[in-house]
Amino acid sequence: MVEVVCVGATNWDTIAVVDRLPRDDERMQAETVLQAGGGPAATAAVALARLGVPVGFAGVVGADDAGRLAVESLEREGVDVSRVQVRRDVATGQSLVLVCRQTSGRAIVTTSPPPPDGPVDVAGVRWAHADHSGWAAVRDLVGGPVRTSLDGGNPVPGLRLSGLDLYAPTQERLEQVCGVTGPEALVAARAAGAREVVATRGAAGALVLAAGAAVTEVPGFAVEVTSTLGAGDVFHGALLAGLVTGHDLAAATRRAAACAALSCRGVDGRSAIPDAAELDAFLAAHPASPASPATPSCPADPTRG
How far, in Å, CA of 297 to CA of 156, rounded? 28
Top-confidence residue, 100 or 115: 100
Instruction: Tell me the per-residue pLDDT of 38-49, one tens digit each, with 9 for 90 and over.
Output: 999 999 999 999
Report whether pLDDT(225) > 70: yes
Chain centre to alpha carbon of residue 90: 24
pLDDT at residue 24 tops 70: yes
Supply the pLDDT for residue 105.
Answer: 84
Confidence check: pLDDT of 109 > 80: yes
Residue 290 has pLDDT above 70, yes or no: no
Q: Which CATH class is domain 4-20+32-110+124-291?
A: alpha beta
Tell me the percentage of the chain whose pLDDT exceeds 70.
95
Which residues have CB under 8 Å from 29's CB, separation 6+?
Answer: 18
Q: What is the pLDDT of residues 159-191, one digit of tens each?
A: 999 999 999 999 999 999 999 999 999 999 999
173-186: buried (b, 16+ CB within 10 Å) or exposed (e) per residue?
bbbebbeeebbbbb
Calculate the average pLDDT of the chain.
92
Instruction: Choose the weakest-confidence range: 54-63, 94-103, 114-123, 124-133.
Output: 114-123
pTM above threshold 0.85 = yes
pLDDT at res. 117: 80
Q: What are the sequence ranges of the domains in the chain?
A: 4-20+32-110+124-291
Could you tell me the pLDDT band of residue 262, with boundaries at 50, 70 and 90?
very high
